[in-house]
Chain A
Amino acid sequence: MTRGLSPLASRTELSDFLAEVERRAFKQALYAVRDEDVALDIVQDAMMKLAEKYGDKPVTELPMLFQRILQNTIRDFYRRQKVRSTWTTLFSSLTPADDEDADPLETLQHEEGSKVRQTPQGFLEQSQLLGLIEKEIEKLPPRQREAFLMRYWEEMDIAETAAAMGCSEGSVKTHCSRATHTLAAALKAKGVTL
């Protein structure tokens, strides 16, 4: 039943894995393509490819494989869109330049209580904050967004992220650092502290 050291994914394990990542995957696709139907198609496509081609792989390899498929599927969408019309690609490239000199991290407040608030007011604030952050994530350059979401949202380590993105670990660190600085600066400009 084993190949190498890791057990192969059973149907239940694959189901659990997909159930655990599908919402985040949808959001990732949505940040990239900004269309719910297209994002759903991308996630469905990625799930199908994972199950068909890598459904017999060890469970531990699934996160990296799924992210690689998801990002490739998003890139395929970009390519198709580029062929259809050139101006839409200009839209995706209209992202703010990285500000290397600013050090917005110094202004961040270290609040432990920044979790979900239970009151209606807190819920509203949290939703507004989420909306702001999601808009800023959408604006990130694709590679920075990929690296940032894989590292911090999917909790993949640098090596896994590099393998999923098909780049060096150094590039992952650079993308993550730039994404973090950009997001921090954007939130600071809107008066948001975490």
Chain B
Amino acid sequence: MDQETEFGYKLRQVLNHGTENFDRDIAKRLHAARQEALGHQRVAVRGMQLAGAGHFFADVVLGHSRVILAAVALLIGATGSYIWNEFEQAAENEEIDSALLSDDLPPAAYLDHGFRAWLERSSHSSQ
């Protein structure tokens, strides 16, 4: 260590002694200043979890909003169509059931093979 550096570090020891015995009021005000500064600290955005989630929502969800909306619409349409077909089928069955029940002929007659054969023959001969 050269003389200049040695002298500099000796002065440093004395100066440090001055900071150890510090005026209490000034130390308090410095502490308050530090706390205020920390309240304004600039923070890297990716360092925050909430900010990261916000970025995910903005970039991924909003970025593909058209595709997502189209997929949701397709799903709703397909479900609606399925439910509509089910209702139609139920209505047709209801009509057949009511026609059968309101007829004079009992439904059990249609299960008879002889009666079915006679029906087919009579329908062919009438044509």
Residues of chain A having any CB pair with chain B under 8 Å: 1, 3, 8, 11, 14-15, 18-19, 22-24, 26-27, 36, 40, 43-44, 47-48, 50-56, 105, 108, 110, 114-116, 126-127, 129-130, 133-134, 148, 151-153, 155, 176-177, 180, 183-184, 194
User: Does B11 sit at the interface, judged by CB under 8 A?
Assistant: yes
Produce 1/0 per residue, B11-28, CB < 8 A to A. Answer: 111111111111000110
Residue in A54, A56, A130 whose beta carbon sits within 8 Å of that of B15 in the complex: A130
Cβ-Cβ contact count across A and B, 8 Å cutoff: 122
Can you report 21 residue pairs joining A to B where beta carbons are below 8 Å apart? A15-B34, A19-B34, A22-B34, A23-B19, A26-B30, A43-B30, A44-B36, A48-B36, A50-B37, A51-B38, A51-B41, A55-B43, A56-B42, A108-B3, A130-B14, A130-B18, A153-B16, A176-B8, A177-B4, A183-B11, A194-B7
What's the interface size class on B, roughly? 35 or more
When distances are taken between beta carbons in the complex, the residues of chain A under 8 Å from B20 are 116
A1 cross-chain contacts in B, Cβ below 8 A: 46-47
- Kindly state the separation between the CA atoms of A18 and B41 in the bound complex, as whole angstroms: 12
In the bound complex, residues from chain A placing their C-beta under 8 Å from that of B27 are 23
Q: Is the interface of B mostly helix, strand, loop or mixed?
A: helix
Q: Lowest 3 A-B CB distances belong to which pairs?
A: A152-B8, A55-B41, A47-B37
Q: How far is the CA of A48 from the CA of B8 in the complex (A)?
A: 30
Q: Contact at A105–B15, with CB atoms within 8 Å?
A: no
